[in-house]
Amino acid sequence: MWLREIEPVELLRQVVVQTYHVTTDTRGREVIRKREADSDGLPPGQLRLASPYDPDARWSAKGDELFWCGYKVHLTETCDPHTDADTPDTTTAGTSASTDTSATASPARPNLITDVVTTVSTASDVTATAGIQQRLTERQLKPGEHYLDSGYPSAELVADAARDGITMVTPLLADRSRQARAAEGFDKSAFDVDWKARQVGCPEGRTSTGWYPVRQHGHDAIVIEFARSDCRPCPSRDKCTTAIKGRRMLTLRPQELHEHVAAARTAQKTDTWQAKYALRAGVEGTINQALDVTGMRRARYRGLPKVSLQHAFSATAINIIRLDAYWTSQQPHRPRTRMSRLSRLAYRLAA
């Protein structure tokens, strides 16, 4: 009995230690106050306990307005408009707390949720992508095209998926260099890379003098260096660099990743790509359907395993609703239960 009781007590102790700070005032008395991040230090979000009742729940934020304590669910559904396709396309969306997914319904068959995974709320969306694609492949549901929100891809994931026959249709993060953010000057796309010669040419016709393979943040990279004697007298120096050393340096990905990223960023600027990517918006309706019909946003249980099961049941319920609507629509002479205008509107928006 004692071994069963000590775990909640230890959990409560950790919550108290992480939340409050004990100091001694000038009179030698102990003072207990809430911890301040700037002065007292706080554990990182993925380790900071949010509740003594649920050891897996975490506080998280999305943007400047959405804050919640709990989990994050990622939903994947089919979005293939063709009835005879062998490899249905899928879209993935992640939302805070619990989510519902609505799909762009095809008149021939309903779009169904094919994967649901629940993570702690502090886990970034990109950490879920590889697992989603692996599970879809194991279930013989590997998508030819995978439509995802901008939080799910990375250059490495895009390249790995392409090798496995999956085209990830998703916005890659933009170039974060000063020149790219300001939309003026020479960003990375303005430089010509000669991978065989291991040299880079700048817009003014100068050639790099240094090519250094390195490891940065656990990933392979290549640091490119131009000569100070070329950069300092350059008439376009202000458009290129403000470095104190007076020379431009670039950091590139390995060739395969660099070319994938460059091609993706170029494609993302076209109207054709934007029109194609609009298909992903259908999953937002699915999310709304799950929220309205199953109440997925509120966790009914404590602990990640039980909340994961709740989300799986919610996704199953949505699939049953869609299949029932589809099968009913195939039998026009079958009596139908009366549906309110509000319900019909909700299903129409979710379709």
pLDDT tens digits, one per residue of 144-200 = 999 999 889 988 899 899 899 999 999 887 666 666 666 677 888 889 999 999 999
Strands 113-120 and 66-78: what pairing? antiparallel
- Which of 125-134, 240-249, 277-286 is the most confident on average? 125-134
- Looking at per-residue pLDDT, the higher value among 43 and 227 belongs to 227
d(CA 212, CA 199): 11
Contacts (Cβ under 8 Å, ≥6 apart) of 179: 185, 186, 187, 239, 240
Alpha carbon 271 to chain centroid, angstroms: 23
Domain boundary assignment for the chain: 2-42, 61-174+276-342, 178-254
CATH topology of domain 61-174+276-342: Nucleotidyltransferase; domain 5 (3.30.420)
pLDDT tier, 19 (very low <50, low <70, confident <90, very high otherwise): confident
Assess whether pLDDT exceeds 60 at residue 134.
yes
* Mean of pLDDT over the chain: 82
Alpha carbon 93 to chain centroid, angstroms: 8
Largest interatomic CA distance in the chain: 86
Assess whether pLDDT exceeds 90 at residue 314.
yes
d(CA 227, CA 207): 8
Residue that is written with structure tokens 């918006």 in the block: 281
Strands 192-194 and 199-201: what pairing? antiparallel
- State both tokens at 51: 């509740």
Average of pLDDT values for 139-147? 93
The total of other beta-carbon atoms located within 10 Å of residue 73's CB is 32
Average of pLDDT values for 44-54? 83
d(CA 144, CA 161): 10
Q: Are 70 and 97 in contact (CB under 8 A)?
A: yes
d(CA 55, CA 275): 43
- Which of 78-92, 172-186, 271-285, 327-341 is the most confident on average? 271-285
Q: What is the pLDDT of residue 2?
A: 39
Contacts (Cβ under 8 Å, ≥6 apart) of 225: 208, 209, 210, 211, 212, 247, 249
Q: What is the pLDDT of residue 181?
A: 64
- State both tokens at 332: 């026009």
Assess whether pLDDT exceeds 60 at residue 336.
no
Q: Measuring CA to CA, how many Å separate 217 from each of 58, 129, 214, 221, 307?
A: 25, 20, 10, 9, 33
